[in-house]
Amino acid sequence: MASSATLSSRRANVQVRPSVTVSELEKPELPLKSIPGDYGLPFIDRVLPEFKACYTELFKTVEYELAEKGKCSFQTPSEQAAFNFLARAFFDSNPVDSKLGTVGPSSANIWVLFQLGPIFTLGLPKYIEDLLLHTFPLPSFLVKKDYKKLYDFFYESAGLVLDEAEKMGISRDEACHNLVFATCFNSFGGIKVFFPIMLKWIGLAGENLHLSLAKEIRSVIKSNGGELSLSAMEQMPLMKSVVYESFRIDPPGKAKKDLLVESHDAVYEVKEGEMLFGYQPFATKDPNIFERAEEFVPDRFMGVDGEKLLKYVLWSNGPETEHPTVADKQCAGKDFVMLVSRLFVVEFFRRYDTFEVEVGPAPVGVAVTITSLKAASF
């Protein structure tokens, strides 16, 4: 899904391919995919406090606009919170205090949309969109200015990570391009798409689910001395199941060798070099695997039998039970996006008992407008 468009180099006019677009057969490029994980590990201590700080600001913004206008679009404040959180958690740098200011999300959005060109829609007739948007690569010069803003911010903020990349024999320039991709596409892009999707399905599920989530989340936090931790979140089975179900029901190359693709009913031979096209909901809504496959079932992944279904949750271009490596094409930000998605649900229901939403179309994913919020009462 990601584009392998040429990126503008700081030092020279060279082509730099993001590591996540490189084939697992191209061994010299493989270490690049490990950069965000291997050298970002020290940031884990900042994740919980920075997430709470940034999303507390988001909630305050939503509450204020809701009081003023009676409704609030989730998109803009959510994207600002996401970008600020990622920069502060990953690199201990607040973009608002840098030259980038508050334009990080808008610059990232423009660039991410170009990466998602093959799938996004503007609501035009399908044949027009296919011709204009989905047939030819979108020209990179249209995003060059925004990309350079992002690149400069990361180059100045990610010094420790870039130092480690150099020790691997990877230039700071190339490593920085890959950090921009991993942060803005894999992480910011994931949050941008999945948080509204989660809010949509949880919102539409109704008050009974909301109160059950609030009770579970608050009870676990209380039993852990009033503090939220990664281990505490593992004690919230309903919360985890709701997040998995959101990823299942609404998930967002060429063959390297001859292979067989099997379904429940048939086997298809794919010849080397032939183009493969995949559509994840065919698998994630397979009625042979999931009962009531088209419905949002909050407790679907609870218990032993529920956990066995996780291998069929494929939103990250791989099973939920597996983790991305340098030798596959699974999303490099998979585990992080899942972590922050859980954090979002937890922080939301620490603060609110229930809420209501309106859902509309968006170029990628869904547009969610919050129409009511009920503050925590217990």
- Rounded to 5°, the CA angle 174-176-179 comes to 115
d(CA 9, CA 151): 9
Long-range contacts of 215-221 (CB under 8 A, 24+ apart): 215/378, 217/345, 217/346, 217/349, 217/350, 218/349, 218/350, 218/376, 218/378, 221/346, 221/350
Residue 359: which H helix or E strand, with range? Answer: strand 352-361
Please report, as a single letter, which amino acid is at residue 200.
K
For the range 127-136, what are the long-range contacts, defined as Cβ-Cβ under 8 Å and sequence gap of 24 or more? none
Using CB atoms within 10 Å of the CB of residue 271, give its burial: 0 to 12 exposed, 13 to 18 middle, 19+ buried: exposed
Query: Which residues make beta-bridge pairs with 267?
Result: 262
Nearest residue to 249 (alpha-carbon basis) of 285, 195, 290, 222: 285
Selection from 225, 223, 205 nearest residue 215 by Cα = 223
Euclidean distance between CA atoms 63 and 50, whole angstroms: 20
**φ, ψ dihedrals at 76, nearest 5°:** -65, -50
Residue in the structure block whose two tokens are 């493969």: 276
Between CA 164 and CA 330 the distance in angstroms is: 23
| Residue 126 near residue 84 (C-beta atoms within 8 A) | no
Is beta strand 267-270 parallel, antiparallel or unpaired with respect to 259-262?
antiparallel
Cα–Cα distances in angstroms (integers) from residue 220 to residues 206, 306, 350, in the given order: 22, 21, 11
176 annotated ligand-binding residue: no
Q: Rounded distance, CA 138 to CA 17, Å?
A: 16
Helix H or strand E encompassing 312: none
The whole-angstrom separation of Cα 221 and Cα 81 is 23
| Annotated binding-site members for heme | 331
Binding-site residue set: 331
